[in-house]
Amino acid sequence: SVRREVARRALAKLITDGRIHPARIEKLIKDARVEVEKDIRDAGEQAAYEANVHGLHPEILKMLGRLKYRTSYGQNQLYHSVEAAKIAGILAAELGADVEAAKMGALLHDLGKAMDHDQEGTHAKLGAEFARRFRVPAHVINAIESHHHEVEQETVEAIIVEAADAISGARPGARRESLENYIKRVRTLEDIAHSFQGVESAYALQAGREIRILVKPDKIDDLGALRLSKDITKTIEDSMQYPGQIQVTVIRETRAVGFAK
């Protein structure tokens, strides 16, 4: 959070300076607030520049910059917003949609996460209300407010913003998951594979985004391996919820070993 960053900077200067007394603490906290506020403005302007989004009110840029000090599951929310804007622009261009609206909606979709926690409402609604105050176009506001389906999506750009948000958040390594969820997904994948006849061993790889299954060659032929891959894929789709996709690889290997003496 912004307050944590202010405290971190002030504390670092106190330790370096060595003069720790109430007046000095108060001055360093005040100086740190000024520095962080400048960094927030600069971060918001830089984010809009990187996303190639223009015409935003200075107050919106300032609120956007606050996301620099906000994370979600370990993913920095400002970097996520810029990445989502770039993805949304590419998707909109491919689909013949409004590129500028899609990019702006994606850049601002998590604006509400930068706002104080004592305000009532979800981050999508808070962000939309804030954007509405500074005359952001109505179709962009709808994209912000509807990216978690709290209101109906009225345009294709709103759907693109939702997709861009999901793509950025779900890519491997973007967000940190709890160890418990990770272990549960890996075990579930391996248990599904082992439930089929002829499976010798199964290993979940890449944080559960791929599973490799080794089958007994005397029990499963080549055609059977193909059918097994499809059956396991169908079972995973029916029984698990996960972002992105899971690659299912079935390996049937026959070895002939001889020794020359």
CATH code (residue 240): 3.30.300.30
Which residues 6+ apart lie within 8 Å of 129 measured at CB?
121
- Count: domains in the chain: 2
Per-residue pLDDT of the chain (261 residues; tens, 9 = 90+): 788 888 888 888 888 888 888 888 888 888 888 888 999 999 999 999 999 999 999 999 999 999 998 887 778 899 999 999 999 999 999 999 999 999 999 999 999 998 866 577 788 999 999 999 998 999 999 999 999 888 999 999 999 999 999 888 876 666 665 556 778 888 899 999 999 999 999 998 877 888 999 999 999 999 999 999 999 999 999 988 776 788 999 999 888 888 888
For residue 45, what are the domain limits? 2-170
Are residues 152 and 228 part of one domain? no
Contact 24, 17 (CB under 8 A): yes
Asked if 109 contacts 123 with a C-beta cutoff of 8 angstroms, the reply is: no
Domain boundary, last residue among 123, 150, 170? 170
**The predicted structure's pLDDT at residue 248:** 93
pTM: 0.66
Alpha carbons 32 and 241: distance in angstroms, whole number = 44
160 with 246, same domain: the answer is no
DSSP string, 194-261: HTSTTEEEEEEEGGGTEEEEEE-TTT--HHHHHHHHHHHHHHHHHH---SS--EEEEEE---------
Residues 97 and 197 in one domain: no
**Residues 164 and 186 occupy one common structural domain:** no
Q: How many CB atoms lie within 10 A of CB 34?
A: 10
